[in-house]
Structure 1
Amino acid sequence: MLLPSCPIISLSKVKLIKTESQCSGSHVDRCLGEEIQPVPSEPAARARWNTKIEYILAQVGSCVGFGNIWRFPYLCHQNGGGSFLLLYVLLLLTVGIPLFFLELATGQAIRQGSIGVWKFISPRLAGIGYSSCVVCFFVSLYYNVILAWSLFYLGNSFQYPLPWEHCPVEGNVTVPECKKSSPTSYFWYRKALDITESIDEMGSFNPYIVSSLLAAWTLVCLGMFKGIKTSVKVMYFSSIFPYVVLFCFLVRGLMLDGALEGIVFMFYPKLEIWADMQVWRKAATQVFITFGVGLGSNIAYSSYNPKNNNCHRDAFTISMINLLTSVLATLVVFVVLGFHAKNKALACVVSNIKELSEQFLSGPVNINLMPSFNYSDPSAVALEAYRAWFKLHGKQFPGNLTDCDLEKEMQQGVEGTGLAFIAFTEAISLLPGSPFWSALFFLMLLNLGLGSMFGIMEGILTPLTDRFKTLAQNKIKFRVFSCIIGFVTGLLFTQRCGNYFVMMFDDYSASLPLIIVVVFETFSVSWLYGADRFLDDIEGMLGWRPHVIYKYLWKYICLLAMLGLLGATTIQMFIQRPTYMAWNQEKGSEEYLEYPDWALAVMALLIIIAVMPVPIALIHAVLMDWTRQRARDSEAGRYSIAGTPATLVEVW
């Protein structure tokens, strides 16, 4: 049993069950003082949200981020389209919202950061909060590098033509590496990252990315150095502006040729994917990542709410906004990518028609198999007409005729950073007024990243300032110092191989430790503290009792789902050696490489460091309890911990 046997601590009020033999005479004060943590008194100067809209904007800004823009669209398209969306909604209702509600309620009830929340429930659980802070630190390091990339592209968007629209020419010859790939891929890997060919090749620091990273951390520091009072002012813009940009892109995209095809490919259901457990794992991971459960930012933001705030309604409101944002972003992405894919498919048709014409003129070709196209104007040939002919006769012709498959074009470069910095930028370069749309897109990414970074940093700073008085007395200095540490440590990702470390941290330093943290959180509240008692506390705050279904969701569905996700992720790591996507300069293309042994050791070390505070805090608390018990037993031999009737003492 992790919870101490002496106190029973309620979130809304502290209930201490003592017996006369446990706390009698002169030992009453000492027993109470040693056995439990005092009720955390709310600091007089603790900030509060001025309005409810500020809190909603902050939570939306923290939850809605890069994952909504590039990870969700990719997963939705590659895993069954509409079927994946239905699966995501199912897991959102049964796992995502209950866990999100759990964190909002605990933060609001205790009005502390993640360390204070779990330490208040039991000193033996304090390690959960420290683990959250460690994971937040890891996430902040590589997350702000993505902001730096966005800043770099934003700065390069104020040119016409855009620098990634055409391959560079050296000595009247197109650069071979660019010619083998594409202008956008070449600009991303060679100009922006100047990337090495593997993670083993460290390379020097990239001065452009170093400068951009410094600018990104400066923006984060300026936006949050006085806490929520300054960050919320930025949130009014950073949380709303992305929706304006997404709406503009959607309206513009729907006017483009290929938009309808993009939407069809996006939502076309493939129900057979429900039988694939890996798809369930990906959907659950996306739900988990989207809400940032376990990072501590949800607890930190909700701790600034009044006690009677309706956190249950907030959980549903923010969740629905998050879901609609993912769907809206996916529509925008695939409308634009549909236009991009249609252009490439039509260019493929023109190339094949020209080759057909050359074959007819240069050699004997069966005239009966030749299509009746307008060879003088290949661009007028419809894609559907060409594909219909190719299926019947295309393979009977010599040469390199291709199918010009629109769906294959849709699947190119739509994963992770490749979606934003390669595929989407290439599509934007085809739009009239491309610099304007490029600047708008990367300004949107910058705002999305800032909102998430504010939440991530609050997940670190709020718990530590609540826990340590020295930090609370020097909040501004601590926040500035944290940003400096973040920048200096983040220089690791500005090396020429930095992108590979970003992928490593994203895949292994955040997701797996966070799953473990959330398992501890859910188990502690639903089993150790008690789901019924937790619902009692929420009833005391809200004035009404949430439905009993939450009890069973927390105790069984959520916990089993998280354990299943943890097991599936771990098994996947052992079955298949982890890989990363590297850039092959000679081929001018991406390829998957296996992580070297030293990188696997680093991954394991990151996971261990992130999870280690949980057992350390548990062992420390157990030893402290044992030491105190020994001291009491030696002073009063008749002292006993259990086995006598209890009396109730309420302190609040």
Structure 2
Amino acid sequence: MEKSLGDLEGSTTGESSRDLLPEPLHRPTWGSKLQYILAQVGFSVGLGNVWRFPYLCHQNGGGAFLLLYFLLLLIIGIPLFFLELAAGQSIRQGSIGVWKHISPRLAGIGFASCIVCTFVALYYNVIIGWSLFYMFNSFQYPLPWESCPLLANQTQEEELECAKSTPTTYFWYRKALDVTESIGASEMNWPLTGCLILAWILVCGGMIKGIKSSGKVMYFSSVFPYVVLLCFLIRGLLLDGAVDGIRIMFTPKLEIWGDVQVWRQAATQVFFALGLGFGSVIAYSSYNDRNNNCHFDAILVSFINFMTSILATLVVFAVLGFRANIVAEKCVEK
């Protein structure tokens, strides 16, 4: 009764609703603001920027898709991203707790976001396992995907299947995935299984102590992809035909804006790139102090996300220009 009267007195004296929110006991906080920014950037920047965005940009008119994506990012992406940051920071709970605090009937949204994150973690760790498999094989000399393997009994004749495709394609389907003609039971692919187990061990090791361990891991996991992208960009710009590919990237075909599917794909990419609706943005911001400037955080992370998409698209289009140049040269020779 006394607490209720005190709350009523505080509200009548002009105390803000943010100050009336219950403070969770023993809520950990980020070691520094840099750890928090790197965590948000590391979560939002991923395959959506490095793989999906260049694909959609190439499919939907190059520069026209860039302009449309930036427009929807300002109208839809940044406001919703700020909304999740503010909700997690003010209520200081995870996705389930935030939605339950808003309304107990909305707690199912928080549980649904956790289930979605579980499914995403399953296939993301498979991709990490593939990456580890390629990293381990890259220490071989010569590289196993540099040339086609020779037949066992004929030392001068290449594998026919590899000769009809490419060495990289053959290595991916036959050596890495070991693709079979059916989806039935087959022998265990032990190298990939070991890489998958190692991927889960690395993820669990980075999260075993909550933000105390994951915050330190962010210094590497969030910065290293930019180092790799910059190396790829420098190498790509030195290839013949890279300028032609980049020119196509920045050439807008505004007539494609008349297609509703392009607008849908751009809006979907905004949600996918920023990680909206997964609950992780809410969880990360819940470890902040309530006085943190989340307006600045929303704009900064969204801008870094957009520039990362541009950087990855530059790399992809530079390589596409090089490959187109190679194909044109082979066509001229024939």
Query: CA, structure 1 residues 275+197, in 2 after alignment: closer, same or farther (shift >3 Å)?
Result: farther
Deviation at 1:264, TM superposition (A): 1.6
In the alignment, what sits opposite 1:302?
A: 285
Deviation at 1:202, TM superposition (A): 5.2
Structure 1, unmatched stretches of 5+, are 1-9, 15-38, 353-652
Q: Deviations over 1:207-236 (max 9, x none)?
A: 121110001011111111101111111111
Does the 8 Å CA contact 2:45/2:305 hold for their aligned counterparts?
yes
1:127 equivalenced with 2:108 (yes/no):
yes
Query: CA, structure 1 residues 211+97, in 2 after alignment: closer, same or farther (shift >3 Å)?
Result: same
Structure 1 CA distance for aligned equivalents of residues 277 and 187 of structure 2: 35
Does the 8 Å CA contact 1:11/1:109 hold for their aligned counterparts?
no
Give the alignment partner of residue 275 of structure 2, picking from 285, 292, 300. Answer: 292
Give the alignment partner of residue 177 of structure 2, picking from 193, 196, 218. Answer: 193
1:225 equivalenced with 2:208 (yes/no):
yes
Structure 2 CA distance for aligned equivalents of residues 113 and 79 of structure 1: 37
Structure 2 CA distance for aligned equivalents of residues 209 and 116 of structure 1: 38
Return the TM-score normalized by structure 1. 0.47
Give the alignment partner of residue 207 of structure 1, picking from 169, 190, 198. Answer: 190
Q: Deviations over 1:116-145 (max 9, x none)?
A: 101111111111111111111111011110
1:43 equivalenced with 2:25 (yes/no):
yes
**Higher relative contact order structure (alpha carbons within 8 Å, sequence separation ≥ 6):** 2
In the alignment, what sits opposite 1:182?
A: 166
Does the 8 Å CA contact 2:23/2:92 hold for their aligned counterparts?
no
Deviation at 1:252, TM superposition (A): 2.4
Structure 1 CA distance for aligned equivalents of residues 324 and 105 of structure 2: 55
In the alignment, what sits opposite 1:404?
A: none
In the alignment, what sits opposite 1:70?
A: 51
In the alignment, what sits opposite 2:237?
A: 254
Query: CA, structure 1 residues 320+202, in 2 after alignment: closer, same or farther (shift >3 Å)?
Result: farther
Does the 8 Å CA contact 2:31/2:215 hold for their aligned counterparts?
no
- The amino acid across from 2:25 in the alignment is P
Structure 1 CA distance for aligned equivalents of residues 98 and 177 of structure 2: 41
Helix, strand or coil: the match of 1:289? helix
Structure 2 CA distance for aligned equivalents of residues 206 and 287 of structure 1: 36
- The amino acid across from 1:191 in the alignment is K
In the alignment, what sits opposite 1:143?
A: 124
Q: Deviations over 1:318-369 (max 9, x none)?
A: 000000000011101221232233223223322x1xxxxxxxxxxxxxxxxx
Structure 1 CA distance for aligned equivalents of residues 258 and 197 of structure 2: 46
In the alignment, what sits opposite 2:252?
A: 269
- Aligned-pair Cα RMSD in Å: 1.7
Structure 2 CA distance for aligned equivalents of residues 13 and 201 of structure 1: 59
Give the alignment partner of residue 240 of structure 1, picking from 223, 231, 245. Answer: 223
Larger mean Cα displacement after TM superposition, 303-312 or 333-342: 333-342
In the alignment, what sits opposite 1:492?
A: none
Structure 2 CA distance for aligned equivalents of residues 278 and 204 of structure 1: 42
Helix, strand or coil: the match of 1:12? helix
Give the alignment partner of residue 305 of structure 2, picking from 322, 339, 347. Answer: 322
Does the 8 Å CA contact 1:11/1:110 hold for their aligned counterparts?
no
Q: Deviations over 1:443-470 (max 9, x none)?
A: xxxxxxxxxxxxxxxxxxxxxxxxxxxx
More strand by share: 1
Deviation at 1:241, TM superposition (A): 1.7
Helix, strand or coil: the match of 2:18? coil
Q: Deviations over 1:178-233 (max 9, x none)?
A: 122211111111110012346x5454432121110001011111111101111111
Q: Deviations over 1:49-106 (max 9, x none)?
A: 1221111001000110112111111110111000000111111111111111110000
Work out the percentage of aligned pairs sharing the same amino acid. 67
- The amino acid across from 2:89 in the alignment is Q
Helix, strand or coil: the match of 2:292? coil
Give the alignment partner of residue 38 of structure 2, picking from 49, 54, 57. Answer: 57
1:12 equivalenced with 2:26 (yes/no):
no
Residues 498-509 of structure 1 aligned to structure 2 (within 5 Å): none
Deviation at 1:161, TM superposition (A): 2.2
Give the alignment partner of residue 83 of structure 1, picking from 64, 71, 87. Answer: 64
- The amino acid across from 2:234 in the alignment is V
Helix, strand or coil: the match of 1:293? coil
Does the 8 Å CA contact 1:40/1:120 hold for their aligned counterparts?
no
Helix, strand or coil: the match of 1:159? coil
- The amino acid across from 1:42 in the alignment is P
Does the 8 Å CA contact 1:77/1:267 hold for their aligned counterparts?
no
Structure 2 CA distance for aligned equivalents of residues 11 and 157 of structure 1: 57
Structure 2 CA distance for aligned equivalents of residues 67 and 128 of structure 1: 23
Structure 1 CA distance for aligned equivalents of residues 140 and 249 of structure 2: 32
Return the TM-score normalized by structure 2. 0.90
Give the alignment partner of residue 74 of structure 2, picking from 69, 89, 93. Answer: 93
Structure 1 CA distance for aligned equivalents of residues 331 and 141 of structure 2: 26
Q: Deviations over 1:504-558 (max 9, x none)?
A: xxxxxxxxxxxxxxxxxxxxxxxxxxxxxxxxxxxxxxxxxxxxxxxxxxxxxxx
Helix, strand or coil: the match of 1:165? coil
Deviation at 1:13, TM superposition (A): 5.0
Helix, strand or coil: the match of 1:138? helix
Structure 1 CA distance for aligned equivalents of residues 180 and 47 of structure 2: 25
Structure 2 CA distance for aligned equivalents of residues 205 and 269 of structure 1: 48
Aligned residues: 317
Structure 2, unmatched stretches of 5+, are 1-15
Structure 2 CA distance for aligned equivalents of residues 113 and 197 of structure 1: 44
Structure 1 CA distance for aligned equivalents of residues 123 and 90 of structure 2: 32
Structure 2 CA distance for aligned equivalents of residues 286 and 209 of structure 1: 30
In the alignment, what sits opposite 1:413?
A: none
